[in-house]
Amino acid sequence: MEVRELGSGLQVSKLGLGCMSISGAYGDRIAQDQANALLRTAFDKGVTFFDTAEIYGPYVGEEMVGTALAPIRDRVIIATKFGFKIDPETGRSTGFDSRPEHIRTVVEASLQRLGTDRIDLLYQHRVDKDVPMEDVAGTVGELIAAGKVRWFGLSEADPQSIRRAHAVQPVAALQSEYSLWSRKIEAEVLPTIRELGIGLVPYSPLGRGFLTGTVRPANLSERDYRAAMPRFQKEAADANLRLVEALAALAEQKGCTAGQLALAWVLHQGEDLVPIPGTRKIERLEENLAAADIRLSEEDLAAIEQALPADAVVGSRY
């Protein structure tokens, strides 16, 4: 698989693997042997970039990723995240916490769970308005100097926060939701990071599975948090499914699936971005990775824009 560069020096596979779903976000957690097979198959097929976070599970997501990647640790890039308060009894987030002392504590715990001596890419999961961004970036900079972290990233950050962080500690990557049905970052965020030389890591590039045309809201389990999302509610879902049907028709003409066409569209938005579609199934992994080989012409891109314009999606993200 081709390699792309995020920021300055962080080289990863053209497509990464988002590992949130293996720990139970979209239903029951998968078994560790299944996670091992999934992540190692991804590696065998060229994926070197794996994304997790302490909040996934919580905690168990990092443990599963660390165990699965242990035999190939030195040949992969592992990204994880800090920034939430987590209730020890319920395991749920109770707000943000990016205080320097909390960042240091989380990093030590993440290193233990991942079974490694360094975190390749450490993201602030969400901006904490109660902690100056300069303090956050400075703390991560100290962890980089200590060899515990290699690169600094932000997630879902606004342009001002990105600039403030980057002025203290260079930001390698911004992770934000970006897909054919989530394009808000195109107005201000994307121009900002490109001005600063920061890479983009689009999460949910398949619209949390909706753009594949195989996810039907009525079939989601009670444990799947997508069921409560506005875009998955009945009226919105019906309207959005019509958009996906139009995308699927174009995909059929290209000889690919709707999901592959949606991923190919993201990949064609620039050489400075690396999507991280997530899955729990090897067959879906293989389908996603095949999208890296799809070439879209200007006519193809124009047809996709016409079928699924940025303002046509019904319902907010959350």
Q: Which amino acids are annotated catalytic?
A: 56
Q: Are 15 and 47 contacting, i.e. CB atoms less than 8 angstroms apart?
A: yes
User: What is d(CA 202, CA 128) in angstroms, rounded to the nearest whole number?
Assistant: 21
Burial group, residue 59, by CB count within 10 angstroms (0-12, 13-18, 19+): middle
Provide the β-strand partners of residue 4.
Answer: 12
User: What is d(CA 200, CA 178) in angstroms, rounded to the nearest whole number?
Assistant: 9
User: What is d(CA 318, CA 23) in angstroms, rounded to the nearest whole number?
Assistant: 21
> Which SS3 state, helix, strand or coil, does residue 77 take?
strand
Q: How many CB atoms lie within 10 A of CB 57?
A: 21
